[in-house]
């Protein structure tokens, strides 16, 4: 018998009507003869309402108590959805994080999953029950409630699918799949039937925001077949798997990320250890650096430019200015009016012309490239934000047609 | 070191300000040098809101999923209150029913407590933590969430006090103690400093509504010293214990219950087994019968009158009418305009004049007595509801002065 793990996000269970809609989808899968486990997020605004209540009482509440509070959101979702499934006449049982034995570390607010004791879910499936699981939550070794942080429910779904050796893990969202580019900004963006884990990872990192990286990483590690589907429409989604059948396709998607800022330090002394000094300062502040560009030395000096998330730019500037004497640079320049545009595709490994083809499209569109970064399955460029719509469109047309 | 278990009801934690007020009371007790465990109910309207959400989705939801849903109310309360205590700078930890090992049977919605594994609470107290416990909830042998039904949080508090051998169990409510009569209807009603478990049980049954019977029964069985206090004012409450120091006092309180209806069956055949037939019919319908009055036979016939809760009167009538032929009565008469007025006092066992004294007061006030019922520590009379204010006042003056 086939086992499907489904995951529905907060907007999919936002109100009674949507809960009933999700119940219908779950029971349709059950009726088709398979075993079904569905992981649910908290209803739309529940988490925000709980955070607001907490903030009114103590803006600096401990993360332990915050997790104790927030875990209620998912528990409310699963019991309400179970009631909707009961109303449709199907056997169902809802289970919290501790009931399914979802063991995590003790990093309240962003706990990592250590293991799932799948026996309770297995027993319920053997009793022919549909099983609803509270996403986003677990317990640590003290039996205290933890939450998994951003993308937590996706990660719960993949972890449950892994523990139960599910045949497929379906992630239902408000989009109906993974596209070659953001359909809101790119004319002619096409839905992909399939994509590899690695491509999905690059796209997630690059701001495609369909699936959280953690869940894709875990799916890749444990070979869980993922599928991204719409919870509102009924149509095939995008399958995420190890290898896809499209060797001919060099590029699977074009992504844009506006949460980026470029920082340049000019006239740094050209001595060994300078890059180490600079980037270890930033990493101590937990600031992630993305693209790095170092000029070749001019005399005894050189320039270093790098990008960080725009949300981290101010913090980066503060720490760099604090250590100006120690680093010995002349000027610090921050530019926030930039975007990163990337192409992703596992096919490009064996196609050396892909990067050049992207640069050609940008050149024709009159877009100037500030920085370039490449990996085996990705090419990213930093450009003026004002030109980014045009750039994404031009690059998409280059690889996918008009 | 002394250990106090406190319990705060839903209205005591209704909003942020009240949660802070409760946090203050809890930390005051902790500051005074003792160990403190506080059991909390759900915030004022939370339970109603959750029930409404459930009803919108499925008015006939299973009790298992209903309990799964409702248990969130208390979990939200304890985490918010823990945050308020953190804001005051004290060490605190909140714990749900499953975390304290509150084991119940599987009667969802009205589960009975089987045992508490006190080790987690004990460990937290040893770490000098204030411990907040979610009232009203437990888990059954399948590790599923159960709720304890009416008076559940009071019962949780007494059970926790029992398991931890607490020195006292303080029940904070919106009244500041147990009174000789309802102060809203009786002029001169006085707060009692002390009362026995048995008296409290009679008063609770008789509609005093300060403490739920289940919690008083458990406190009596396990000798837990109870105290009823106001969560809003700071003044001594009423202590509930085994023996109180007032032998001289015959009566500790006067109670009135308006949720009562009298049912009379006339001209029943005067044959053996008639009472059995009648009352087993009612008990099969789970209708509790209170006072029973049987006329002495006239010829081959007799009348039987009895009281039931007014809320059960219609159901009782239906079942009796259905079995009219089988029972063989002539007429069924229901009177709903009645009240039960009772005096309670362990001192009356050795004071045979107490009942007579009550009847004297009623006679002087011009109140006609329809039915009488007595126990070792209680005398109840059934009277016209229209006269009940007057009756309670007169009886109270008889025993407690004007």
Confidence of residue B352 (pLDDT cuts 50, 70, 90): low
Q: Are strands A113-116 and A102-104 parallel, antiparallel or unpaired?
A: antiparallel
Check A78 against B61: CB less than 8 A apart: no
pLDDT number for residue B7: 97
pLDDT number for residue B73: 97
CA distances from B202 to A1, B180, B330, B361 (A): 59, 13, 35, 21
**Token representation of residue A219:** 């799916």
Q: Is the CB of residue B180 less than 8 Å from the CB of residue B210? A: no
Q: With beta carbons under 8 A apart, name residues in chain A contacting B96.
A: 68, 145
Check A120 against B98: CB less than 8 A apart: no
d(CA B205, CA B200): 8
Structure confidence by residue, pLDDT tens digits, A23-36: 999 999 999 989 99
Nearest to B11, CA basis, from B170, B138, B174: B174
Find the residue in A nearest to B124 (Cα). A142
Say what percent of chain B tops pLDDT 70.
95
pLDDT number for residue B280: 85
d(CA B19, CA A163): 41
pLDDT number for residue B207: 56
pLDDT number for residue B205: 63
A151 compared with B339, residue with greater pLDDT:
B339
Q: Radius of gyration of chain B from Cα atoms?
A: 24
Give residues with Cβ within 8 angstroms of A6, minimum separation 6: A25, A26, A29, A36, A37, A38, A39, A157, A169, A170, A172
Confidence of residue B302 (pLDDT cuts 50, 70, 90): confident
122-181 of A, contacting B, C-beta below 8 A: 143-145
What's the whole-number mean pLDDT along residues B379-400?
92
Q: With beta carbons under 8 A apart, name residues in chain B contacting A54.
A: 79-80, 83
Check A16 against B75: CB less than 8 A apart: no
CA atoms within a 13 Å half-sphere pointing along the CA-CB vector of B32: 12
Whether the complex's predicted ipTM surpasses the cut of 0.85: no
Q: With beta carbons under 8 A apart, name residues in chain A contacting B138.
A: none
Whether A281 shows a pLDDT value over 80: the answer reads: yes
Whether A241 shows a pLDDT value over 90: the answer reads: no
Which residue shows structure tokens 């988490």?
Answer: A47
d(CA B68, CA B43): 17
Find the residue in B nearest to A65 (Cα). B79
Find the residue in B nearest to A95 (Cα). B144
Say what percent of chain A tops pLDDT 70.
95
Among B79, B130, B141, which would you mutate to test the A interface (most chain A Cβ atoms within 10 Å of its Cβ)?
B79
Confidence of residue B246 (pLDDT cuts 50, 70, 90): low
A-B CB pairs within 8 A amount to 112
pLDDT number for residue B298: 67
Q: How many CB atoms lie within 10 A of CB B31?
A: 11
d(CA A167, CA A170): 10
pLDDT number for residue A333: 93
**Token representation of residue B368:** 């006609």
Q: Is the CB of residue A293 less than 8 Å from the CB of residue A262? A: no
What's the whole-number mean pLDDT along residues B41-69?
95
Q: With beta carbons under 8 A apart, name residues in chain B contacting A53.
A: 16, 76, 80
How far apart, in Å, do the first and last CA atoms of chain A sit?
44
pLDDT number for residue B209: 67
Among B58, B67, B142, which would you mutate to test the A interface (most chain A Cβ atoms within 10 Å of its Cβ)?
B58
A38 compared with A274, residue with greater pLDDT:
A38
**Token representation of residue A132:** 């609803």
């Amino acid at each position: 018998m086939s086992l499907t793990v489904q995951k529905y996000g907060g907007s999919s269970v936002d109100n009674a009507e949507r809960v009933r809609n999700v119940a219908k989808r779950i029971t349709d899968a059950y009726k088709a003869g398979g075993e079904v486990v569905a992981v649910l997020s908290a209803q739309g605004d529940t988490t925000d309402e709980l955070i607001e209540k907490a903030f009114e009482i103590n803006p600096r509440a401990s993360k332990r108590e915050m997790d104790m509070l927030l875990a209620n959101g998912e528990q409310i979702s699963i019991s309400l959805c179970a009631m909707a499934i009961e109303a449709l006449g199907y056997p169902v049982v809802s289970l919290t994080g501790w009931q399914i034995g979802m063991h995590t570390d003790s990093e309240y607010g962003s706990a990592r999953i250590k293991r799932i004791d799948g026996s309770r879910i297995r027993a319920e499936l053997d009793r022919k029950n549909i099983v609803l699981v509270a996403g986003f939550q677990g317990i640590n070794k003290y039996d205290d409630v933890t939450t998994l942080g951003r993308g937590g429910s996706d990660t719960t779904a993949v972890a449950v699918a892994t523990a139960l050796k599910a045949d497929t893990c379906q992630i239902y969202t408000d989009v109906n799949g993974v596209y070659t580019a953001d359909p809101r900004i790119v004319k002619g963006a096409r839905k992909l039937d399939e994509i590899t884990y690695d491509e999905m990872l690059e796209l997630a990192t690059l701001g495609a925001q369909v699936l959280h990286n953690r869940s894709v990483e875990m799916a890749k590690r444990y070979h869980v077949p993922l599928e991204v589907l719409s919870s509102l429409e009924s149509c095939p989604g995008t399958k995420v798997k190890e290898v896809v059948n499209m060797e001919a396709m060099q590029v699977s998607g074009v992504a844009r990320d506006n949460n980026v800022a470029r920082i340049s330090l000019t006239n740094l002394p050209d001595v060994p250890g300078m890059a180490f000094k600079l980037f270890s300062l930033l990493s101590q502040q937990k600031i992630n650096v993305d693209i790095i560009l170092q000029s070749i030395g001019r005399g005894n000096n050189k320039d270093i430019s790098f990008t960080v998330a725009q949300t981290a730019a101010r913090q980066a500037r503060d720490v760099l200015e604090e250590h100006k004497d120690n680093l010995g640079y002349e000027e610090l320049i921050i530019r926030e009016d930039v975007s990163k545009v990337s192409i992703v595709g596992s096919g490009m490994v064996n196609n050396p012309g892909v990067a050049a083809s992207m640069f050609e499209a940008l050149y024709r569109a009159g877009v100037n490239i500030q920085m370039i970064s490449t990996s085996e399955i990705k090419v990213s460029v930093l450009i003026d934000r004002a030109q980014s719509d045009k750039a994404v469109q031009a690059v998409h047309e280059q690889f996918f047609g008009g």
